[in-house]
Amino acid sequence: MASGPNPLVGGDLVGVRSVPLYEQVKRQISELILLGTWTPATVLPGEHDLAGKFGVSVGTVRRALGELTFEGLLTRRPRIGTVVTGRSPHHRLRHFFQYFRLHSDTGKLLKSDVRMVSAIIDRATETEGARLNLSSETEPQVLRLKRVRLIEDRAVMWDVFTMPSRLLPEFPLHDVPARLYVYLLEVYGIRISAVRESLSAELANDQDKTLLEFTDIRPVMQIEEVAYDPAGTPISWTIHRALTEGYRYVNEVN
């Protein structure tokens, strides 16, 4: 098993298993755009320069650019080159694997930091077993992660992520990656192809007040999320609890 992904943009892609090279290049280009390194109207380096940057063939780069152009993230302009369009589908599953979708009330996508609260392997609860279609006899154990999301050091969301532990041998409990879905794909070859969500508004409970650091009575938004692999098998179950004052939940379908 690989010791872990190398997420450095422009780093060597050799050794990342189960993901075609052109898909890896697509993801890295998409991330450069999403994170603002390549802003709208930026002209990308030439294919040969990109091939050298990512350590792949020109043909691999050409395929990655072709697909991103077809999907609208890039455009080809005669005598200019390949240009970032500014149409950034924040949550296209094929590229970004990002499930934190709180925006500011002005519509800006917010970048968050993750603080781990706990990471354990434990016996599945009845609810976890039902959501993940687990047998209590053959699959009794789950990985359970509790995390807090912070924006500018303010706790705005916490979540509990649950997944069958048999799918994650040697998972690094003491060094949990912040970008879980990318890690699952690169290290374990687990690809998420669909997510089903259920939203509700609830009054804050004691755990909300502790983890999100407030004391008064206020509503929180709960997002229940089940992620599925290409075969339709539930892979993970997550509960998010988020503050809503000053924030909005945005879900794009592209």
Instruction: Report the distance separating Cα 108 and Cα 128, nearest Å.
Output: 34
172-225 pLDDT, tens per residue? 999 998 888 878 877 888 877 778 889 999 999 999 999 999 999 999 999 999
Instruction: Report the distance separating Cα 159 and Cα 161, nearest Å.
Output: 6
DSSP output for 177-238: -S-HHHHHHHHH-----EEEEEEEEEE--HHHHHHHT--S--EEEEEEEEEE-TTS-EEEEE
Domains 21-84 and 102-249 share a fold: no
Going by DSSP bridges, is the β-strand pair 141-151/154-164 parallel, antiparallel, or unpaired? antiparallel
Element (H, E) at 63: helix 58-70
DSSP output for 123-174: EPPHHHHHHTT--TTT--EEEEEEEEEEETTEEEEEEEEEEEGGG-TT--TT
Predicted confidence at residue 69, as pLDDT, reads: 85
17-33 pLDDT, tens per residue? 456 888 889 888 887 88
Whether the CB-CB separation of 127 and 105 falls below 8 Å is answered with no
Predicted confidence at residue 2, as pLDDT, reads: 36
Domain borders along the chain are 21-84, 102-249
Whether the CB-CB separation of 219 and 199 falls below 8 Å is answered with no
Tokens read off for 30: 């998409």
Predicted confidence at residue 235, as pLDDT, reads: 93
Question: Among 189, 170, 173, 171, which residue's Cα sits nearest to residue 181?
Answer: 189
**pLDDT band at residue 101 under the 50/70/90 scheme:** low
Helix, coil or strand: residue 81: strand
Q: Which fold has domain 102-249?
A: Chorismate lyase (3.40.1410)
Average pLDDT, the chain: 82
pTM: 0.63
Residue with tokens 């968050």: 112
Predicted confidence at residue 23, as pLDDT, reads: 85
Element (H, E) at 6: none
Predicted confidence at residue 183, as pLDDT, reads: 83
Whether the CB-CB separation of 89 and 73 falls below 8 Å is answered with yes
DSSP state of 7: -
Q: Which fold has domain 21-84?
A: Arc Repressor Mutant, subunit A (1.10.10)
For the cut 70, the answer to whether the pLDDT of residue 120 exceeds it is yes
